[in-house]
């Protein structure tokens, strides 16, 4: 009888402790409007699917605060500052474009708040320890594409990309991998995300007569080069980045993107993965969670990045010390994220350490080809 009373009191105490445990506040910044919304809207849907699947983390109810940066880096940075200073979030997740993600990373570094970025982002210096990315680094993705070019006998390639940090990342990665593969880069053309035409840039590319064209862009504006190339009758091979895998891009690109090859995380072709691949199960779990939360299956490769960000947060929070809402907790959470080992996600198996802000390796990359409106795994 005495033991039963003690057990009952312990249960009541545990329930009370959980009831008064501080909420874990998660600040999400995404481009829900503007040119990058084709990526930003899926990012929000991914994090909401994850929250619905796991509404508590390490005994703490998760409070999600989502802000739209309207595809503007300045707004992204301002949103990050508001979330930390006014809403007192414990962690930041976002955003959809590289320039915006860099703005958020600068605020995260200044205010000592962990940032899990679904977008490739890196800041120089040791203070970059506040930011990690669940997105595959561009060098890893582009290296896989260049390897495919090499196998196809490509000797020359033209580049066209955004005139911003994303375009620079893609171009620099192409130059590095192409040089090692003996492939000559014969053009470097740029355009703004808001441009409505790239006819002039494509004329120069076609005149250079490259064996292939590689585009360093993302989202719906990423279709412009392929549409222009098709209009000019270009018959060479076409390649791109993982930033193109979304339904709007496929719709706008239409027949012009037939045969396009891009790198992707394994989640896009989860059902085509080997049954022994641990990423397959997590990817199928993600699809089920997304379907339950939104009433439809995901048709992009972006919503799963924020799902992975949530998985990483949950894994790290289980090892973090202290109570949410304090600087000490944010530091402990950052350290826990940095010590993550072999965490299986939808886009890869994550391992972080202070000198590696990306957690991905070769297991995070597959090559897919556009075939009649569907992405198919390239063996």
The DSSP-derived string for 119-143 is S----SSGGGGGEEESSPPHHHHHH
Q: Let me know whether 70 and 188 are in one domain.
A: no
Mean pLDDT of the chain: 92
pLDDT of residue 4: 52
CB 325 within 8 A of CB 90: yes
Instruction: With respect to residue 376, please indicate whether it lies within any of the assigned structural domains.
Output: no
Instruction: With respect to residue 236, please indicate whether it lies within any of the assigned structural domains.
Output: yes
Which residue in 371, 379, 203, 356 sits closest to 274, CA to CA?
379
CATH code for position 129: 3.40.50.2300
Q: Let me know whether 329 and 243 are in one domain.
A: no
Instruction: With respect to residue 222, please indicate whether it lies within any of the assigned structural domains.
Output: yes
Distance, CA of 198 to CA of 8 (rounded, Å):
71
Q: Let me know whether 254 and 315 are in one domain.
A: no
Instruction: With respect to residue 372, please indicate whether it lies within any of the assigned structural domains.
Output: no
Instruction: Please write the tens of the pLDDT for every residue from 193-212.
Output: 999 999 999 999 999 999 99
Instruction: Please write the tens of the pLDDT for every residue from 5-38.
Output: 544 444 444 444 444 578 999 999 999 999 899 8
Share of the chain above pLDDT 70, in %: 93
- What angle do the packed helices 278-294 and 303-317 form, to 10 degrees? 110
Length of the chain: 379
Q: Where are the alpha helices (DSSP H) in 213-356?
A: 224-231, 247-253, 278-294, 303-317, 327-338
Q: Let me know whether 111 and 11 are in one domain.
A: yes
Q: Let me know whether 14 and 127 are in one domain.
A: yes
Q: Is the pLDDT of residue 280 over 80?
A: yes
The mean per-residue pLDDT over the stretch 161-179 comes to 95
Q: Let me know whether 92 and 171 are in one domain.
A: no
Beta bridge partners of 189: 160
Record the pTM.
0.84
Q: Let me know whether 126 and 94 are in one domain.
A: yes
Instruction: With respect to residue 186, please indicate whether it lies within any of the assigned structural domains.
Output: yes
Q: Let me know whether 122 and 7 are in one domain.
A: yes
The total of structural domains in the chain comes to 2
pLDDT of residue 66: 98
Q: Let me know whether 319 and 237 are in one domain.
A: no
Q: Let me know whether 238 and 300 are in one domain.
A: no
Chain Cα centroid distance, residue 250: 18
The DSSP-derived string for 74-111 is HHHHHHHHHHHHTS--SEEEE-SSHHHHHHHHHHHHHH
Instruction: With respect to residue 71, please indicate whether it lies within any of the assigned structural domains.
Output: yes
Range of the domain at 71: 2-136+283-363
């Amino acid at each position: 009888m005495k033991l039963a009373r003690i057990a009952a009191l312990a249960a009541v105490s545990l329930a009370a402790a959980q009831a008064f445990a501080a909420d874990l506040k998660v600040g999400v910044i995404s481009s829900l409007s503007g040119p990058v919304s084709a990526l930003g809207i899926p990012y929000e849907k991914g994090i909401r699917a994850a929250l619905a699947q796991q509404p508590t983390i390490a005994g703490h109810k998760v409070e999600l605060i989502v802000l739209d940066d309207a595809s503007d880096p300045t707004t992204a940075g301002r949103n990050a500052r508001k979330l930390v200073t006014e809403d007192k979030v414990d962690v930041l997740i976002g955003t959809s474009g590289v320039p915006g993600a860099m703005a958020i990373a600068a605020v995260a570094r200044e205010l000592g708040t962990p940032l899990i970025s679904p977008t490739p982002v890196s800041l120089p210096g040791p203070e970059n320890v506040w930011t990690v990315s669940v997105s595959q680094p561009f060098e890893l993705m582009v290296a896989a594409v260049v390897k495919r070019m090499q196998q196809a006998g490509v000797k020359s390639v033209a580049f066209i990309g955004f005139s911003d940090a994303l375009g620079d990342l893609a171009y620099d990665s192409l130059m590095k991998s192409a040089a090692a593969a003996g492939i000559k880069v014969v053009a470097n053309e740029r355009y703004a995300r808001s441009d409505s035409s790239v006819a002039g840039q494509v004329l120069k590319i076609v005149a250079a007569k490259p064996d292939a064209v590689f585009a360093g862009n993302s989202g719906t504006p990423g279709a412009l080069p392929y549409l222009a190339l098709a209009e000019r009758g270009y018959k060479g091979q076409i390649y791109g980045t993982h930033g193109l895998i979304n339904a709007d891009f496929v719709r706008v690109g239409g027949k012009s993107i037939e045969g396009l090859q891009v790198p992707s995380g394994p989640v896009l072709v989860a059902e085509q993965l080997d049954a022994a691949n641990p990423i397959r199960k997590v990817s199928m779990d993600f699809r089920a969670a997304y379907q339950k939360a939104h009433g439809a299956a995901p048709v992009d490769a972006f919503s799963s990045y924020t799902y992975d960000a949530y998985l990483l947060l949950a894994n790290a929070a289980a090892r973090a010390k202290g109570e949410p809402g304090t600087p000490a907790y944010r530091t402990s959470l950052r350290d826990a994220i940095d010590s993550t080992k072999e965490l299986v996600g939808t886009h890869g198996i994550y391992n972080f350490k202070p000198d590696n802000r990306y957690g991905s390796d070769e297991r995070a990359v597959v090559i897919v080809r556009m075939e009649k409106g569907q992405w198919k795994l390239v063996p």
